[in-house]
Amino acid sequence: MTAPHHSVLEVRAADATLDDEIGGRLVAFNEAAVGADQHSIAIRVTDSDGGLAAGLTGWSWGDCAGIGSLWVREDHRSHGWGGRLLQAAEDEARRRGCRQITVSSLTFQAPGFYRKHGYVEVGRLDAFPDGNADHHFVKSLVEPADAEPVRLMALVEYAEDAVDAGTGYEDTVLGLLGRHGGTAERRMRTADSRTELHVILFSSRDGYEAFLVDPARLALRAELGDAAPDRPGPRNVGRLDRSPEPVARRVGVGTPVILLRRDDELVDRELAGPVGVQPLERRVDRRVSRAEGPLQRVELGGP
């Protein structure tokens, strides 16, 4: 072994073997430090001619996994291959006992793709070329044993001069639910379009919390400026305050909304009254009877 003071430092434009050599030595160091082996993940999609059409590379290390690269050839894009690669990597990581998976993506690459598939942004490094940023994501591969679905009911009332802006905001926000395990079960509005009722189901409380800090949702709020929804603390909303974890916020360009964790029995009792459980439309109609006209179903995903 050469003595340190006889070693030479060289700067080169490229070195075909250096990355592999350093990577191998770092893997060996890491495995020795924590007692867990690191293994590669490689997933390939080939076309009918045997050419590379898409692929994903990554790693697993103990109960963690990561995606290093994901690429889909242009003629295979918009056909679901990216999602299939991602699902295959997550399934393989679970098979290896991993509990979470990480990935990073530059702004011009696919951060929205990862959010759509349930990845939560946990960090962002700005100052990359052309104003881009490096977005860092993580996704849990296991549901906590005590995780329970959370169903929310949001009553949205728009100011007369803010209906278009308000419904546009809600169209976009409801479109973000799927990124975080959320589903819009019902969306209804009155004939004058000034009052809406949303029933939303999240697979877990974590999904709901991730939805609240979704960068796309925050960007839309910033775009609205002073008219953006705020989120005041819980306030008196009548008997519904007795439901678990009431939350109040403002949605739809300066108009109040009550968003609450919905205990089915409680809401049924409070809205249906002594006659028992009624269809949702009728129960909600009691709550918004001051609006002009009954609630009408709105096609989910549309205005």
Residue 164 has pLDDT above 90, yes or no: no
Paired strand residues for 154: 198, 259
Segment 63-86 shows an average pLDDT of 93
Measured distance CA(136)–CA(291) in Å, rounded: 44
Segment 298-302 shows an average pLDDT of 46
Provide the pairing of β-strand 182-190 with 100-106: unpaired
- Per-residue confidence band for 255, with pLDDT thresholds at 50, 70 and 90: very low
pLDDT score for 70? 96
Q: What is the mean pLDDT of the chain?
A: 74
pLDDT in tens, 276-296: 334 444 545 555 554 445 545
Segment 124-148 shows an average pLDDT of 85
User: Which amino acid is residue 67, in one-letter code?
Assistant: I
- Per-residue confidence band for 212, with pLDDT thresholds at 50, 70 and 90: confident
Segment 33-39 shows an average pLDDT of 85
pLDDT score for 68? 95
Can you give the residue ranges of every domain in the chain?
Answer: 36-140, 150-297
The highest-level CATH class for domain 150-297 is alpha beta
Q: 242 or 96: whose pLDDT is higher?
A: 96
CA angle centred on 43, ends 18 and 66, rounded to 5°: 65
36-140 and 150-297: identical CATH topology? no
Q: 235 or 68: whose pLDDT is higher?
A: 68
Q: pTM score, two decimals? A: 0.49
CATH architecture of 36-140: 3-Layer(aba) Sandwich (3.40)
Residue 118 has pLDDT above 70, yes or no: yes
- Per-residue confidence band for 144, with pLDDT thresholds at 50, 70 and 90: low
Segment 119-134 shows an average pLDDT of 90
pLDDT score for 30? 85
pLDDT score for 302? 37
Residue in 294, 295, 293, 238 with CA at minimum distance from that of residue 270: 238
Q: At CB < 8 A and 24+ separation, what contacts does 107-114 make? A: 107/131, 107/132, 107/133, 107/135, 108/132, 110/70, 110/82, 111/135, 111/137, 111/215, 112/216, 113/82, 114/139
pLDDT score for 260? 37
Q: 54 or 263: whose pLDDT is higher?
A: 54
Q: 168 or 45: whose pLDDT is higher?
A: 45
Which range, of 40-54, 144-158, 177-191, 241-255, averages the lowest pLDDT?
241-255
**Residues 60 and 96 sit within 8 Å (Cβ to Cβ):** yes
